């Protein structure tokens, strides 16, 4: 763990193992923190806050850029840790680390653009000013699917704003978090500004972050179910919260789309982001009926050609799922769908032959003859299963795409510019990709509608999540 600028052990030297999901071997051993360690981390962040918040934004930015530069120098090393504990292919991990370090660069500059206001006063003898000031200590809880990106997207804007941070990384992927902390330490980050508590289970650490009055804000990425529980706890102290939660992203292919680009986009957004273990992955693929047969045939061929295997093997495109529970979930989705009339065109099973039988590998799967009410179309899949649905009209697909409690991301492909305007405005999602499957960038805000979350990360809005607004009324006498 990293607390108050030092590398520390847990009380009683408690530890837990981090395992490689590709073969279940031990990838590392880290301290198993709990309430005492979390309290020490919070106290450290609380002590560090006054000095850090008064540090000029330009100087905070210099340190953040230093972290970015060290991450760039250590990109290969950090990417290898991502592969070891998460399982994703090495090139994908390298891309994640490259993208994640960019948040330090972006928010280093945004720190200098925290503006106040001088408001025109209705009184001759009074002046009205508005300040934006850092909130204080921030508790951040991050998931395992993007062990670098999910962290930097929270801690970079928080520290840029002048806040201090206590981070609880996912128990499955703490090694990447500690490597990022090492970059911060070596870049000259003052003691207490960033603290990391690793733990085998999140409950005790999360509870303390929510109960402790020194913590002014909670940033969380994870499931909607867990997010709802955290909201209830945060309500006791009216803590500020920003949550990025689950998704059920529709991926819509209209018959006038660039067929090849739409096909590659669908493959990328379904299978090539942590093997489908992403909240913005395509969860439901809608294809217009006039091109459905052709698209499904091509999609199945591309799915069969995907290279599945351990992340360190050259050319791999899809790695393992994170654990046994995820494997069971995929099997349940397939069995439930087929029991209701769906057909499996390819995949549908875990790998049982060497060497993939040692890890948590599931075959990239395509389902057809599914309907909107099946669990595989209602729930977040979080794995390499692609249900394909057919639609007739624009109005129909908009209605079906929006018929979900989630609203994080959506994608559609068309050449019709009038349709681009109508559909992009009609989709109920915080992120809409139009003829594009990349997703978000540092420069734009990211977050969800409906039960997919509160608040935004990235863009200028990202730093505002960590600022308090103060109004000043000055009587000149």
Q: What is the CATH number of the domain that holds 256?
A: 3.40.309.10
Residue 446, domain member (yes or no): no
Quote the CA–CA distance of 217 and 231 in Å, as a whole number: 11
Q: How many domains does the chain have?
A: 2
pLDDT digits (tens, 9 = 90+) for 211-261: 999 999 999 999 999 999 999 999 999 999 999 999 999 999 999 999 999
Residue 361, domain member (yes or no): yes
pLDDT digits (tens, 9 = 90+) for 447-467: 999 999 999 999 999 999 999
Residues with active-site annotation: 244, 279
Residues spanned by the domain of 322 = 249-441
404 and 459 together in one domain? no
Burial of 2 (0-12, 13-18, 19+ CB in 10 A): buried
198 and 263 together in one domain? no
pLDDT digits (tens, 9 = 90+) for 168-224: 999 999 999 999 999 999 999 999 999 999 999 989 999 999 999 999 999 999 999
What pTM, to 2 d.p., does this model score? Answer: 0.95
304 and 414 together in one domain? yes
Contacts of 143 (CB under 8 A, 6+ apart): 150, 170, 221, 222
What was the pLDDT predicted at 202?
81
Residue 447, domain member (yes or no): no
Q: What share of the chain is helix, strand, coil (3-state, %, to 5)?
A: 45, 25, 35
- The CA-atom distances, in angstroms, between 74 and each of 77, 84, 241, 373, 392 are 5, 16, 32, 46, 50
Residue 205, domain member (yes or no): yes
Percentage of residues in the chain with pLDDT exceeding 70? 100
459 and 410 together in one domain? no
Residue 208, domain member (yes or no): yes
Q: Read off the CATH number of the domain in which 181 is found.
A: 3.40.605.10
187 and 239 together in one domain? yes
Q: Specify whether the CB–CB gap between 416 and 256 falls below 8 A.
A: yes
339 and 363 together in one domain? yes
Q: How far is CA 3 from the centre of its chain?
A: 24
């Amino acid at each position: 763990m990293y607390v108050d600028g030092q590398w520390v052990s847990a009380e009683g030297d408690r530890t837990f193992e981090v395992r490689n999901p590709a073969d279940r071997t031990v990838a590392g051993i880290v301290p198993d923190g709990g309430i005492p360690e979390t309290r020490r981390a919070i106290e450290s962040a609380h002590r560090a806050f006054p000095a850090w918040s008064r540090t000029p934004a330009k100087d905070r930015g210099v340190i953040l850029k230093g972290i970015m530069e060290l991450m760039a120098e250590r990109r290969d090393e950090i990417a290898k840790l991502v592969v070891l504990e998460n399982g994703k292919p090495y090139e994908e991990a390298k891309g994640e680390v490259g993208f994640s370090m960019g948040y330090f660069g972006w928010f280093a500059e945004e720190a200098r653009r925290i503006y106040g206001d001088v408001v025109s006063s209705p009184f001759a003898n009074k002046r009205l000013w508005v300040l934006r000031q850092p909130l204080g200590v921030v508790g951040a809880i991050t998931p395992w699917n993007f062990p670098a990106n999910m962290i930097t997207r929270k801690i970079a804007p928080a520290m840029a704003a002048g806040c201090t941070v206590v981070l609880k990384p996912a128990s499955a992927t703490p090694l990447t978090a500690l490597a990022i902390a090492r970059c911060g330490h070596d870049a000259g980050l003052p003691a207490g500004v960033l603290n990391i508590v690793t733990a085998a289970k999140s409950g005790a650490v999360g509870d303390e972050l929510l109960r402790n009055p020194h913590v002014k804000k909670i940033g969380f990425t994870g499931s909607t179910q867990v997010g709802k529980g955290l909201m209830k706890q945060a309500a006791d102290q009216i803590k500020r919260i920003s949550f990025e939660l689950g998704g059920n992203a529709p991926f819509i292919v209209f018959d006038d789309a660039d067929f090849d680009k739409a096909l590659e986009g669908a493959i990328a957004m379904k299978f090539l982001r942590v093997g489908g273990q992403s909240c913005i992955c395509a969860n439901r693929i809608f294809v217009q009926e006039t091109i459905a047969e052709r698209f499904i045939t091509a999609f199945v061929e591309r799915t069969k050609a995907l290279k599945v295997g351990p992340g360190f093997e050259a050319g791999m495109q899809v790695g393992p799922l994170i654990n046994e529970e995820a494997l069971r979930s995929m099997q349940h989705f397939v069995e439930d769908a087929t029991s209701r009339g769906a057909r499996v065109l390819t995949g549908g099973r875990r790998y049982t032959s060497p060497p993939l039988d040692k890890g948590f590998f599931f075959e990239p799967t395509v389902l057809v003859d599914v309907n909107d009410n099946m669990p595989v179309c209602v729930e977040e899949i979080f794995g390499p299963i692609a249900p394909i649905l057919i639609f007739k009209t624009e109005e129909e697909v908009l209605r079906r795409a929006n018929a979900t409690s989630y609203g994080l991301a959506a994608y559609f492909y068309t050449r019709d510019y009038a349709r681009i305007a109508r559909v992009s405005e009609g989709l109920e999602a915080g992120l809409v990709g139009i003829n594009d499957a990349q997703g978000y960038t540092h420069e734009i805000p990211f977050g969800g509608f409906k039960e997919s979350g509160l608040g935004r990360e990235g863009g200028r809005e990202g730093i505002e999540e960590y600022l308090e607004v103060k109004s000043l009324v000055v009587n000149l006498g």
